């Protein structure tokens, strides 16, 4: 790493929010990127298009050796690490009575455990590079849960809770921990076609580029957390102030339609937040 370079590592960088975050971060002065995802051909292509130096690690973050592989790459290619963006994630749908523990296990393994394991491996580098930052990309499902998405919500609730604790623990070490909570975001894994076709629900679907800006705000500008779109924060407040009403609303017919539209393509799991 050359003098005045800022190294940022983005997981799930092959498409969707991760790709948008990489493109946005690459526009920051002195930025150097490390791109992490499963699909090497996409990472190689993206690295060649960015206006900043970029390398990549093609790995499945649920693999046993993934954190050490990423750490070895950072130690070999970079002199420090200023920003870690834990973005890789996915959702597997289904009611618990039908899908059981296995769906919960899969969601936790990628959406929570993988982020924790990677952070553990890279935390010494982040502390050594302080002031530095970690951004965990959760979801509005980390605050409000819908039927059929319990496994996804559980993993994102865990990520949000852990982020709050990590913020307090790492502040003395100069490592800021930010949280981004996207709502419905149009990505390859979630085209949101049904929602975008309805005038009543079109407004609730945002773009990966908006989430990328939130990642910059929480990672480089010191914000604590950001909802995307911002009005989604109202749902979180309603859950606290009016829990019974919120549950009834989320169990109604319109909520069921939204739940049906949130299915994620697990084959492209890095694109999902």
1 domain residue, yes or no: no
Domain that holds residue 42: 6-271
Q: Is the peptide bond before 229 cis (omega within 30 degrees of 0)?
A: yes
99 domain residue, yes or no: yes
CATH number of 42's domain: 3.40.50.720
Confidence of residue 18 (pLDDT cuts 50, 70, 90): very high
* Among candidate residues 140, 130, 125, 20, the one with its CA nearest the CA of residue 67: 125
Q: pTM (2 decimals)?
A: 0.88
Q: What is the pLDDT of residue 259?
A: 41
82-105 pLDDT per residue, tens: 999 999 999 888 999 999 999 999
**Catalytic site residue from 101, 152, 227, 232:** 152
* Among candidate residues 112, 30, 119, the one with its CA nearest the CA of residue 74: 119
Q: What is the pLDDT of residue 190?
A: 59
Domain count of the chain?
Answer: 1
Q: What is the mean pLDDT of the chain?
A: 87
221 domain residue, yes or no: yes
The helix/strand/coil state of 179 is strand
Q: What is the pLDDT of residue 186?
A: 58
Q: Is 232 a catalytic residue?
A: no
Confidence of residue 42 (pLDDT cuts 50, 70, 90): very high
The helix/strand/coil state of 12 is coil
Q: What is the pLDDT of residue 122?
A: 98
Contact between 44 and 91 under an 8 Å Cβ cutoff? The reply is: no
234 domain residue, yes or no: yes
92-147 pLDDT per residue, tens: 889 999 999 999 999 999 999 999 999 999 999 999 999 999 999 999 999 999 89
226 domain residue, yes or no: yes
* Among candidate residues 151, 157, 159, the one with its CA nearest the CA of residue 118: 159
Q: Which residues of 108-142 are buried (b: 16+ CB within 10 A; e: fewer)?
A: bebbbbbbbbbbebbbebbeebeebbbbbbbbbbb
């Amino acid at each position: 790493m050359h003098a005045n370079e800022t190294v940022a590592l983005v997981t799930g960088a092959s498409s969707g929010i991760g790709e948008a975050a990489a493109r946005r971060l690459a526009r920051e002065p002195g930025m150097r990127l490390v791109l992490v995802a499963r699909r090497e051909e996409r990472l190689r292509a993206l690295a060649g298009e960015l206006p900043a130096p970029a390398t990549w690690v093609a790995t499945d973050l649920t693999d046993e050796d993934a954190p050490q592989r990423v750490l070895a790459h950072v130690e070999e290619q970079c002199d420090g690490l200023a920003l870690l963006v834990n973005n890789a994630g996915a959702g597997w749908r289904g009611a618990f009575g039908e899908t059981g523990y296995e769906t919960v296990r899969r969601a936790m393994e990628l959406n929570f455990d993988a982020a924790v394991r990677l952070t553990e491996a890279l935390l010494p580098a982040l502390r050594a590079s302080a002031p530095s930052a970690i951004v965990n990309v959760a979801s509005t499902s980390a605050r409000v849960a819908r039927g059929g998405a319990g496994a996804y919500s559980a993993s994102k609730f865990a990520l949000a809770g852990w982020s709050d604790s990590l913020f307090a623990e790492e502040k003395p070490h100069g490592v800021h921990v930010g949280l981004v909570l996207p709502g419905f975001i149009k990505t390859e894994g979630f085209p949101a076609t049904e929602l975008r076709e309805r005038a009543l629900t079109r407004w609730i679907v945002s773009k990966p580029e908006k989430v990328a800006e939130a990642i910059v705000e929480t990672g480089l500008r010191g914000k604590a957390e950001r909802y995307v779109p911002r009005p989604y924060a109202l749902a979180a407040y309603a859950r606290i102030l009016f829990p019974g009403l919120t549950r009834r609303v989320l169990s109604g017919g319109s909520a069921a339609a939204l739940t049906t539209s949130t299915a994620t393509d697990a084959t492209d799991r890095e694109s999902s937040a």
